[in-house]
Chain A
Amino acid sequence: MEYFVQQLINGVTLGSIYGLIAIGYTMVYGIIGMVNFAHGDVFMVGSFVALIAILLLGVTGATPLLLLMLALVLVLAAAMVLTSVWGWSIERIAYRPLRGSFRLAPLISAIGMSVILVNLVQIIQGARVKPLAPIISGGYEIMERADGFVVNLSNIQILIVLTTTALMAVFTWLIAATPLGRAQRACEQDRTMAALTGVNVDRTISLTFVIGAALAAVAGFFYLLYYGVIDFYIGFVAGIKAFTAAVLGGIGSLPGAMLGGLIIGLIETFWSAYFTVEYKDVAAFSILAVVLIFMPSGLLGRPEIEKV
């Protein structure tokens, strides 16, 4: 039971990170119907930006609490803004010229972009892994088993889950109640019609990429703090898993992306805990295949109607 609770906590934390990345996939898919293959690598870039900002500000675990909080907010803001520029540029360079091209063109372009990002970061930051000493430490012991196994709820886990929940709330509001959200939903339904009613479609799509990249940067920031080690290749696997999460939750659906992220995070954690660590990725990928085959519209998605 205690072991289970511990894994549950770990799984929810991991799931929050996946969920944040998955939102980027699901929004882009919803609005222009393409899999933004480079999104996982945007997450990686965000993680690197956060790392550099942390090193620049000289934040360590020894910084006084108030200062530390301020610094981390700064780092997070910097990572979100600068990564958004990456997201915006990628859309502008690699995807916008391809609107109306043939079906596979944006996907191939996205794969090219992903290859570019991975190799660019490898070249300019080096291929070695980047370790970072823990910055947020401490936590609470919430349970103890007779044999001394302690269930830990660490501060960083609390921070990740709380921030993700808060971001989700802000985000849901953004989509439901602001002009931007309205424009976005309009574009999602029918781009031509939205343009006719005065929605600036290009701008809306750009903003979608910006928001997706900003959330990916948050995920990258937390990934860095939580695991304490990143390299240029983390975007690939995290990206596929987040995409799996988006598909599982029903691609195009925002709550679905979050739910899918949680489920994937939990499955992966429990699989590692009770079966084998080596095959945890196989478990996640197999779920992707199974979901797509038996439930192509996911848990919360609408079934896709093919129009001729």
Chain B
Amino acid sequence: MAEVARPVEAGAQAAGAVRVAAAAKDALLAALVAGFLAVPILAYRTIDGQTSLELVERWPLVALAVGSVFAGRLLLNLYWSAEHVPGAGAFAAGLAPLRFALGGLGRYLGPIVVALAFALPFMPFSNRYIMDLGILVLTYVMLGWGLNVVVGLAGLLDLGYVAFYAVGAYSYALLSQHLGLSFWICLPLAGILAAFWGILLGFPVLRLRGDYLAIVTLAFGEIIRIILVNWQPVTGGPNGLSGISRPSFFGLEFKADCEPGTFCGFFGVAHSPLYRIVFLYYIILVLALVTNFVTIRLRRLPVGRAWEALREDEVACRSLGINTVNTKLTAFAIGAMFAGIAGSFFATKQGFISPESFVFMESAIILAIVVLGGMGSQMGIAAAALAMTAGVELFREFELYRMLVFGIAMVLMMIWRPRGLVGSRTPSIALKDRKAISSDLVKEGHG
């Protein structure tokens, strides 16, 4: 036995040595490429000098970058690529029960999270900072759910989503400043106006293929922003609009003087700015939940079914007599409506809006949330919004790196799990029992 085992062992050793050598060679190549990438941009930093630009050398950084690429690639080659198939398989197998558990837990997870969200203001640890953070997260949750209707359900890539957010915010600001309308009247109006803009944009462009549509929506977003910057008399230009009125609590305003007709005067409590924050928190929580509820209900309606069918295969949809233009338009309009409502909430919360808040990066963040959340999964999107906004807030010092991390996360997500972490498809109609289908098995058609 021993004689047999030895050559095998030696063979394995030799194979191992070859493997290590190959891995090292590959890592060296990667490091070389990294060196080429880093040399111009990283090695020299341009700074403002006395009369013109000057260069500062930063070779240690280059060495660090190249070294870490080499090490990372080597480790990846040795411990991941070698057992590529079994390793990845085991990992996926490990994920499967997790996903199953999430699916099973999903029934209880949703209500638990909602209950926690409602209880947050009364938690002993909650303070002004936590509430502000909560509002921010919920705003992104709502935007993510709104964009999910367009991207996740209907499969239309909208890169100008922030434009509708802007329409909502400016609608509220202008309506309240010029017509004196209250927040509660403006909220639906802003939603309707944004939906109208969605239709206006969508009508001509929705005949386009996926990536053309994406670029046109991006262009549209930029057009809106440029108009906001330049149409000074109406939008205030780059200075934006300030002094936007705050929402009232059933007619009771949040003022410090505690006169009758104010919140603290009516309830006979001492004034605290926290009341207003908590009130705003509940507004956005309810708005987000409404978005979620409407989306879930719409998915059960014929139009929702049509959206998902459209995402899977547009040609098949058309051949079945679904009016694809109308179906896309409704998705676009409803997504835009939610963005508009979120926008008017944003305006009332901030009290000040300017075009700065509606740049393309904002669209990219919302899209990243939807993508990372698994395009179509409500829970996943909420989790992604929490991770992206709260996670970033907690690491404030790394503010500069946050968009970089967003970008890396988007790319890695597409490579590793393009369907999101908890991506699964539940058949809309089933013969006997509903079985969640792993999204890996679903191939999307070309629309």
A residues adjacent to B (C-beta < 8 A): 34-35, 45, 48-49, 51-53, 55-56, 78, 82, 85-86, 88-89, 93-94, 97-98, 101-109, 111-126, 128, 130-133, 236-237, 240, 243-244, 247, 276, 278-279, 281-282, 285-286, 288-289, 292-293, 296, 304, 306, 308
B44 CB contacts on chain A under 8 angstroms: 52, 55-56
A112 & B215 in contact (Cβ 8 Å cutoff): no
How near does chain A come to B437, taking the closest CB pair, in angstroms?
A: 15
Query: Contacting A98 at CB < 8 Å: which of B404, B418, B446?
Result: B418
How near does chain B come to A125, taking the closest CB pair, in angstroms?
A: 6
Given A52-B46, A125-B41 in contact, is the A35-B415 Cβ separation under 8 Å?
no
Number of interface residues of B (CB under 8 A): 66
B residues adjacent to A (C-beta < 8 A): 33, 36-37, 39-42, 44-48, 52-55, 151, 155, 157, 159, 204-205, 207-212, 214-216, 218-220, 222-223, 226-227, 229-230, 315, 360-361, 364, 367-368, 371, 400-401, 403-404, 406-411, 413-415, 418-419, 443-444, 446-447
A107 & B415 in contact (Cβ 8 Å cutoff): no
B205 & A289 in contact (Cβ 8 Å cutoff): yes
B157 & A115 in contact (Cβ 8 Å cutoff): no
B410 & A286 in contact (Cβ 8 Å cutoff): no
Query: Contacting A109 at CB < 8 Å: which of B48, B204, B215, B411?
Result: B411
What separation, in Å, do the CA atoms of A118 and B413 have in the docked complex?
19
B364 & A115 in contact (Cβ 8 Å cutoff): yes
B419 CB contacts on chain A under 8 angstroms: 102
What separation, in Å, do the CA atoms of A118 and B443 have in the docked complex?
32
What separation, in Å, do the CA atoms of A209 and B307 have in the docked complex?
35
What separation, in Å, do the CA atoms of A91 and B159 have in the docked complex?
22
What separation, in Å, do the CA atoms of A126 and B41 have in the docked complex?
11
User: What is the interface of chain B mostly: helix, strand, loop, or mixed?
Assistant: helix
Given A240-B222, A278-B230, A282-B227 in contact, is the A94-B364 Cβ separation under 8 Å?
no
Q: Apart from A111-B159, A119-B403, what are 13 other A-B pairs with CB-CB below 8 Å?
A: A48-B46, A82-B37, A85-B37, A103-B210, A108-B410, A112-B413, A115-B406, A121-B41, A130-B53, A240-B222, A279-B230, A288-B215, A289-B216
Q: Which residue in chain A gives the minimum CB-CB distance to B227? A: A282
Most buried by A among B47, B52, B227, B407: B407
Q: Which residue in chain A gives the minimum CB-CB distance to B222? A: A285
* 28 A–B contacts from the bound complex (CB under 8 Å): A48-B46, A52-B46, A56-B55, A88-B33, A98-B415, A102-B444, A103-B444, A104-B210, A108-B157, A108-B367, A108-B410, A109-B414, A109-B415, A111-B367, A113-B407, A113-B411, A115-B404, A116-B411, A117-B407, A119-B400, A119-B403, A119-B404, A120-B41, A130-B53, A132-B52, A236-B360, A247-B212, A289-B219
B371 & A52 in contact (Cβ 8 Å cutoff): no
User: What is the interface of chain A mostly: helix, strand, loop, or mixed?
Assistant: helix
A286 CB contacts on chain B under 8 angstroms: 219, 223
How near does chain A come to B218, taking the closest CB pair, in angstroms?
A: 7
Given A35-B215, A107-B211 in contact, is the A120-B410 Cβ separation under 8 Å?
no
How near does chain A come to B42, taking the closest CB pair, in angstroms?
A: 5
A111 CB contacts on chain B under 8 angstroms: 159, 364, 367, 410
B414 & A108 in contact (Cβ 8 Å cutoff): yes
B215 & A281 in contact (Cβ 8 Å cutoff): no
A34 & B211 in contact (Cβ 8 Å cutoff): yes
Q: Which residue in chain A gives the minimum CB-CB distance to B157? A: A104
A306 & B36 in contact (Cβ 8 Å cutoff): no
How near does chain A come to B32, taking the closest CB pair, in angstroms?
A: 10
